[in-house]
Amino acid sequence: MPESQSQQPDDREGRAAEGVEHLQTAAKELIEAARAFLDVIDDFVDDRERLSSAISSLGSAIESAAGKPSAPAGVDDRLANYRVQHIPVD
C-alpha cells in the first residue's frame, strides 16, 4: 500500500495545519521586512540632499552607460570611436 494511503486522515490534517502555520509565519515576516524597507525609503526620500545626490549619481551612470564604449587594452585608440569593433582577419 502506498505511503500516502497508509497515513491516517488526522495525520494529514495535522501536517496541512502545520504547513499553513508556517506559511502564515513566513507571510508575517515578509510583511515586517517590507515595512522596514519602506521606512528606510521614506527616510531617504525625506532627505533632499541624499535624494539629489542619488539622482545625480544615477544620471551619471546612465550617461556613462549610453556613451561610447572604451577600447579594450591593446586596441588602437582610433578604433575606440567606432561602435563596431573591426577585427583584422589573416
pLDDT for 38 equals 95
What does the block give as the cell for 54?
542619488
Per-residue pLDDT of the chain (90 residues; tens, 9 = 90+): 455 555 677 788 889 999 999 999 999 999 999 999 999 999 988 888 988 898 899 988 888 887 765 556 666 666 556 567 778 887
CB 71 within 8 A of CB 77: yes
Report pTM.
0.45
pLDDT for 60 equals 86
pLDDT for 37 equals 95
